[in-house]
Amino acid sequence: MNELLIIADPHLMAERNAWLENLTRERRLSEHTLDAYERDTRQFLTFLTGHLGGPTTLRDIETLRPADFRAFLAARRRDGTGARSLGRNLAGLRSLLRYLERKGLVNAAGAGAVRSPKQPKSLPKPLSDRQAITVVSNDAQLHDEPWIAARDAAVMTLLYGCGLRISEALDVKPSEISAGTTTLRITGKGNKTRLVPLLPIVLEAVEKYRQLCPFHLDEGQPLFRGARGGRLQPAIIQRAMQKLRSAFGLPDSATPHALRHSFATHLLAGGGDLRTIQELLGHASLSTTQVYTGVDASRLLEVYDKAHPRA
C-alpha cells in the first residue's frame, strides 16, 4: 500500500479501494480474481507513474488515450506477459474505469477503444493410444443392455477410427456402412463431402451392433438408435463417455470430440502428413489442421522430459 500512495494520489487510491470492496461485496468474485485485479491495476498505476512523469490522478485517468493503454500492454508484453494475462489486465482496467465512470469521475472511452490481445488457440486434448483403445472397446462399455453397449462401442470406434464429429457419426445410414465397405462418404460442415477409409475394427464394431440391435434399421434412417428406437442423441454418447471417465480415471478432457482429436494426433505421430489428415478431418483450411503439430510437439517434449536422463 505504501508503494501505491507514491504512485497515485489519495483520491484515486480511495476510489480504487472502494472498487475492490465493491467487487468483493456485490460481484462476489473469487479471491484469485480479486488478487489478479488488484495486481493488474497496481501494475497499471506503476506504469503510468513513469509514463506520465508523476503520481497518477483522476484527471490523468480522464485524459488517457487508447495509445496510453496500448503502451501499457506493449510494456507488459516486453516483460514476457502472455496474451491471456494481457487480456485479463485489460479486463481489470476496464472494470475499474467503468466503476469510476458510473460515479461521474472519468470517461472510460479510451480503454473501450483498445482491442483485447488476440488469444492463442487452445490445443486439442487427445487421449493416449491406450486410453483411446480402452474407450472404444466393447468390453469397456458400462451399459447393462448388450445391444446398447455394442452401440456405444460402435459410435466411439467411428469417432476414433475415422476421425468423425459426433454429429457426423450419428448421421450415418445403414446403407452407407456394411460388410465389405472400404470407405465412408461423410458430409461435414458447409456440406463439404469427404471419403474416409473404414478399418476392419470399425466394421466389426458396427456389425456387432447391427446384430444385437432390436429395431429394424431402415436404410433411409440413421443407423444408431436410442433405447426406444428413435434417433440417437449426442447427449447419450456424451453421458456414456462421462461414465467411462469415472470408471477408468480418465481426465475431464476425455470427451467424444477428444476421440476425433486423438485420431488426428495419433496419425501425425505415426507419420501421417498434414494434407492427408486435413482431408480426413474435413477441414477447409490447412491452418486448422496445423494445430495438431503443436499437440504432437508438446507430447514429444513431455516424453523427453520424463525419459531423457539429462532432462
292 is catalytic: yes
CATH tag, 2-112: 1.10.150.130
Instruction: Note whether 196 and 184 are within 8 A (CB).
Output: yes
Percentage of the chain lying above the pLDDT 90 cut: 34
Q: Which position among 37, 99, 209, 292 bears the catalytic label?
A: 292
118 is catalytic: no
Q: pTM score, two decimals?
A: 0.60
Residue 65 confidence (pLDDT): 86
Name the residue ranges covered by the structural domains of the chain. Answer: 2-112, 129-307
Q: What number of other Cβ atoms are within 10 A of residue 126's Cβ?
A: 26
| Max mean pLDDT range (77-86, 129-138, 147-156, 293-302) | 147-156
Across the strands, what pairs with 82? Answer: none
User: Which run of H or E residues covers position 65?
Assistant: none
260 is catalytic: yes
Q: Which position among 76, 260, 261, 266 bears the catalytic label?
A: 260
Q: Which position among 42, 77, 257, 299 bears the catalytic label?
A: 257
By C-alpha distance, which of 169, 130, 140, 146 is closest to 246? 140
Which tens digit of pLDDT belongs to each residue from 189-206? 878 899 999 999 999 999
Residue 310 confidence (pLDDT): 56
- pLDDT confidence of 209, banded at 50, 70, 90? very high
User: Which run of H or E residues covers position 74?
Assistant: helix 66-78
Q: Which position among 16, 151, 165, 210 bears the catalytic label?
A: 165
User: Which run of H or E residues covers position 183?
Assistant: strand 183-187
257 is catalytic: yes
Q: Which position among 189, 192, 231, 239 bears the catalytic label?
A: 189
Residue 172, all three cell numbers: 450415418
Residue 30 confidence (pLDDT): 74
In this structure, CATH architecture of domain 129-307: Orthogonal Bundle (1.10)
Q: Find all residues with CB under 8 Å of 16, minimum gap 6, and list them.
A: 4, 8, 41, 96
Helices (H) and strands (E) in the chain, counts: 16, 2
Mean pLDDT of all residues belonging to the chain: 85
Residue 114 confidence (pLDDT): 74
Rg (CA), the chain: 27
Which tens digit of pLDDT belongs to each residue from 214-236? 999 998 899 999 999 999 999 99
Which tens digit of pLDDT belongs to each residue from 237-284? 999 999 999 999 998 889 999 999 998 888 888 888 888 888 888 888
Provide the CA 178 distance to its chain's centre, in angstroms: 35
